[in-house]
Amino acid sequence: MSNIVAIVGRPNVGKSTLFNRMIKRREAIVDSVSGVTRDRHYGKSDWNGKEFSLIDTGGYVVGSDDIFEQEIDKQVELAIDEADAILFVVDVESGITGMDEEVANLLRRVNKPVLLVVNKVDAANRLHDATEFYSLGLGEYYPIASINGSGTGEMLDALIEALPEVEEKEEENLPRFAVVGRPNAGKSSLINALIGEERYIVTDIAGTTRDAIDTKYNRFGFEFNLVDTAGIRRKAKVKEDLEFYSVMRSIRAIEHSDVCLLVVDATRGFDSQVQNIFWLAEKNHKGVVILVNKWDLVEKDTSTVKEFEKHIRQQIEPFTDVPIVFISALTKQRIFKAIETAVQVYKNRSNRVPTSKLNDVMLPIIENMPPPAYKGKYIKIKYCTQLPTNYPQFAFYANLPQYIRDPYRRFVENKLREQFDFTGVPVQVYFRKK
């Protein structure tokens, strides 16, 4: 599980530019995932070998009548509440504004590392101008230019130094199945139905689960931890934006899981909020099972299941090889089928293909359908192997790997899925110089 870092500040100070630069800084970084409001983004970054999740919050505006800005303000406060460290971005061009002072007042009350980042310092004379930000009372500041990356290295060094150590659970090495989804989709009801007791509070009000809780579970001779991740905590001074907060909690749960059970409310459909959580799981290389809950409330005909499933698969292209199970936590319809499917996905994620078998199967397929020639140069793939990682990654060795394009990468991935059982699991394919 990695730390969470929130980028906050008033509008138009360059937060999103800094976010984009940070998530693209290293090859291992996962792309950003669009969030739940107009400019919400999540991503993963790393610096000096330490990974962290990054949240780009909207611009904080105090006392606005604009309903969107009021919602953004709520989400900024929630991000501050949930984050392990905060990057407070200000603009050297405009100097200290009243809104900067309001944000600084908010951050001074936070018992977390806060790094004051003075942006747009892209000339020597602006270094002197940046000194006025000392008066915000947040201590040392870090002058940067997010547009070209100047100064970001020193800022990241300080950020890594300030991040708290993440506690790793060492007592058990059981697989973790995280139950994720938007509020009020039926996550806690599902776990209650599975374990046969009212372990969690379940109401019709979204957001009643306070924290993610593990339940040790044994089914089909397979023991694992089942994790309820609704995780909406009541805060007297924080007005909950439930959709944003559900993603915040899901980030932590997904990163520390092996398989994600994505619960979808059948009466609301596979909307953008659910898609965001799905792609968070995919970007973190976790196994995924989609559970369409409250199926007993849907009016059905002979084609309802087929049409619903078709719609979901269109929304998750190109990663369409994901099990979809239609359940009802209330009537316990197919809930054990859901667990059986999740266990199989976990086994698929742990699947190791012997190198000899991999080459015997894949090389003839590649020989019959080789990569397209590039500028008259023919690409030959001679050898492949599965990498020793905790999720399926494969390296294919070629004479000219730099000329292999994404469509052919997807072709190889699809053939791997056809020949070997990786249902519900993201597969990574690399082409390397032989």
Tokens of 341: 């499917």
> Is 392 annotated as belonging to a binding site?
no
> Is 98 annotated as belonging to a binding site?
no
> Is 122 annotated as belonging to a binding site?
yes
> Is 35 annotated as belonging to a binding site?
no
Q: Which residue in 166, 4, 193 sits closest to 85, CA to CA?
A: 4
Could you check whether the bond before residue 318 is cis, i.e. omega within 30 degrees of 0? yes
> Is 231 annotated as belonging to a binding site?
yes
Q: At a CB cut-off of 8 Å and minimum separation 6, what does 268 contact?
A: 182, 185
Q: Which residues pair with 223 in a beta bridge?
A: 218
> Is 12 annotated as belonging to a binding site?
yes
> Is 149 annotated as belonging to a binding site?
no
> Is 47 annotated as belonging to a binding site?
no
> Is 192 annotated as belonging to a binding site?
no
> Is 207 annotated as belonging to a binding site?
no
> Is 377 annotated as belonging to a binding site?
no
Other CB atoms within 10 A of residue 26 CB = 14
> Is 423 annotated as belonging to a binding site?
no
Q: DSSP string of 217-246?
A: EEETTEEEEEEE-------TT----HHHHH
Q: Which residues pair with 172 in a beta bridge?
A: none
Other CB atoms within 10 A of residue 131 CB = 12
> Is 310 annotated as belonging to a binding site?
no
> Is 81 annotated as belonging to a binding site?
no
What single-letter amino acid sits at 11?
P
> Is 120 annotated as belonging to a binding site?
yes
> Is 9 annotated as belonging to a binding site?
yes
Other CB atoms within 10 A of residue 316 CB = 18
> Is 24 annotated as belonging to a binding site?
no
> Is 228 annotated as belonging to a binding site?
yes
> Is 359 annotated as belonging to a binding site?
no
> Is 406 annotated as belonging to a binding site?
no
> Is 424 annotated as belonging to a binding site?
no
> Is 3 annotated as belonging to a binding site?
no
> Is 230 annotated as belonging to a binding site?
yes
> Is 196 annotated as belonging to a binding site?
no
> Is 58 annotated as belonging to a binding site?
yes
Number of helices (H) and strands (E), helices first, in the chain? 12, 16
> Is 57 annotated as belonging to a binding site?
yes
**Cβ atoms 290, 322 nearer than 8 A:** yes
Binding site for GTP: which residues? 9-16, 56-60, 119-122, 181-188, 228-232, 293-296
User: Which residues are known binding-site members?
Assistant: 9-16, 56-60, 119-122, 181-188, 228-232, 293-296
